[in-house]
Amino acid sequence: MSELFELLIGEGIEEEEEEFGWQERALCAQTDPESFFPEKGGSTREAKKVCLACEVRSECLEYALANDERFGIWGGLSERERRRLKKSAV
């Protein structure tokens, strides 16, 4: 029974690492997080510049859309831009 439990737990951890492993490779994890959550009316230019060079940009955007992230720059898009994208996809 113990081995089965450990096997199931191990599979769950692997699935979670696979699902969220992209976050470890994200360039934003290596930069100032405040630039990705600017105050209302603040510039998003620097955050979007980082996103353009990020290898996991599409995974990030997919995560934000799937989880209805309402704040910050995700996958190179602001909340308003993500909302527009969702509306155009419907």
Q: What is the pLDDT of residues 8-18, one digit of tens each?
A: 555 544 454 45
| Domain hosting residue 46, numbered range | 2-89
Q: What was the pLDDT predicted at 21?
A: 87
pLDDT digits over 14-32, tens only?
A: 454 456 689 999 999 999 8
17 is in an annotated binding site: no
pTM: 0.75
30 is in an annotated binding site: no
Contacts by residues 50-59 (CB-CB < 8 Å, ≥ 24 positions apart): 51/27, 51/75, 51/76, 52/76, 53/27, 54/26, 54/27, 54/28, 55/25, 55/27, 56/22, 56/23, 56/25, 56/26, 59/22
86 is in an annotated binding site: no
Nearest of 86, 72, 77 to residue 40 by alpha carbon: 72
Number of domains within the chain: 1
65 is in an annotated binding site: no
